[in-house]
Amino acid sequence: MAHGGRLAQKLTAQLSATVLERFLQAAALILIARQVGPAAFGQFAACLALTKILSIGFGLGLDIWLLRNGFRTGDYARLAQQATTCLALRAGLGLLWLGGIIVLAPWLDPAAYPPDLLMVTALAVWFEEIANIVWSTFKAALQNQTLLKFITVAQAASVGLTLLLIALGVRAVMVYAVAIAMVTGLHAAVAVVWQLRTFGWQWRPETLRPILRETVPFGLSAGLAMVYGRADIALVAYWLGEQAAGLYSPAVSLVNALALIPTAVYYVMLPLLSQAYTSDGARAEMLANRFRFASTGLGLLFGAAVALIAQPLVYLLFGPAFTDTGRVLALLGGVLAARFVSMTLATSVVAVGLQGQRVAIQAGVALLNIALNVWVIPRWGLMGVAGVYVFTEWVLVAGYAALVWAWRRNPSTVAT
């Protein structure tokens, strides 16, 4: 009972942090979209999607690797060493990545990806990724209350600054992008200071090579997830223009915001299941099965609810200029339902050491997503893109389910 109570507290703290973060992020984007209009917001969304996809060049999947491996043995000294190495890798490689964005910017379509806006967005993404690796350290140690405090303050500051700019009558999307970068940069700085204060700086250069080697499948997984989760926005901007991207991206943002429950469960259950599979496989399977069952039911319920309320919700949040967004969101309810199931399955897949096999499934889904979008976008436009997103998310669910089923039939083939 005591263990169940502690688990409930950690889940509640993680869920609260995720709810507030996603809600406030979505609120800021909604406010910006209403203020600048579909075309300008489409440019911002396209730049954000592209930089997020490219961020795998320095993200390397270190967040998930740290969640799985950082605290498996309950050793705080080991966690501090690995967290220091991950932070140094992300910050250093991120600087090189920013240089690459500067080189890339002039080669892109300036109508969809204005160079100045792209650079500011890239800077915000770099800051965000630094903060993310810090908070992954706290998640690995299951210190979710700390996460709740800092993320809430950071996101509230972003919304507050956005409201101030709106009150001043600012309509230039670049100003809002700069404001987000400033808040995100301050958040990253505070996060780093708090990590040093809590865990200390345990620099061990000899850990660089092993971590880089082990994180390869995690980096590939994160990159592929970015492709089939955000490539559609970039492709819409390329094929249909920034106006269409400005109508499509709010629906994707709302779905991602509503996927907070499976995300929260994933971040809490991954370190717990990683430890449990190491010490007590039967208990780990019992926990995993309960969450799979609950997530499937919740996913179907949430997906149906989004489909029913999509049109009035979009009208209320964004206004009549985003009518097409409501139709897209109604279809994307299927993505939300799938996400509940896939995130729960992914927790078990990663915890038992099947990350390499997971990457193979994600690679197939990413290729399928891009191929279908290239064929569908010129023919069926925004609704076609949304349909591809729903279809490929359920293909991902099927792949993960097959992987879990195969492992359960022969678990001895994988070292956990």
350 to each of 33, 40, 344, 374, how far by Cα in Å? 36, 39, 10, 31
CA–CA gap between residue 84 and residue 199 (Å, rounded) = 9
- Rounded to an integer, the average pLDDT of 117-138 is 88
Amino acid residing at 162:
T
Out of 10-19, 94-103, 165-174, which region has the weakest mean confidence (pLDDT)?
A: 10-19
The contacts of residue 257 (CB under 8 Å, 6+ apart) are: 22, 23, 25, 26
**Can you say how many angstroms the Cα of residue 172 is from the centroid of all Cα atoms in its chain?**
27
Tokens standing for residue 105 = 């910017």
Alpha-carbon distance of 174 to 178, in angstroms, equals 6
pLDDT for the residue 34: 82
Each residue's pLDDT tens digit, 176-208: 999 999 988 998 898 888 888 877 777 777 777
Phi-psi region of 195 (alpha: psi -120 to 50; beta: other; left: phi over 0): alpha
SS3 content of the chain, % helix, strand, coil (to 5): 90, 0, 10
Q: Which residue has the tokens 């908070």?
A: 135
In angstroms, rounded to a whole number, what is the distance separating the alpha carbons of residues 372 and 232? 10
Place 415 in a pLDDT band, splitting at 50, 70 and 90: very low
- For the stretch 226-244, pLDDT in tens is 666 667 777 777 788 777 7
d(CA 249, CA 234): 10
CA 354 to chain centre: 20
Average pLDDT of the segment spanning 295-317: 86
The pLDDT tens digits for 318-360 are 878 788 888 888 999 999 899 888 888 888 887 777 877 888 8
Global model pTM greater than 0.85: no
Mean pLDDT of the 39-66 span:
80
- Name the residue ranges covered by the structural domains of the chain: 2-413
* Stretch 24-41: mean pLDDT: 81
If one counts every other C-beta atom within 10 angstroms of the C-beta of residue 293, the result is: 11
| Tokens 């996400």 sit on residue | 339
User: Quick one: which of 134, 108, 6 has its CA closest to 53?
Assistant: 108
Distance CA 305, CA 322 (A): 20
3-state SS assignment for residue 367: helix
Q: Residue 323: what pLDDT?
A: 80
pLDDT at 181: 92
CA atoms within 13 A on the CB side of 83: 31
Burial bucket for residue 363 (CB in 10 Å: 0-12, 13-18, 19+): middle
What pLDDT sits at residue 27? 80
The most confident of the ranges 45-49, 121-125, 310-314 is 121-125
- The confidence band for 120, taking pLDDT boundaries of 50, 70 and 90, is very high
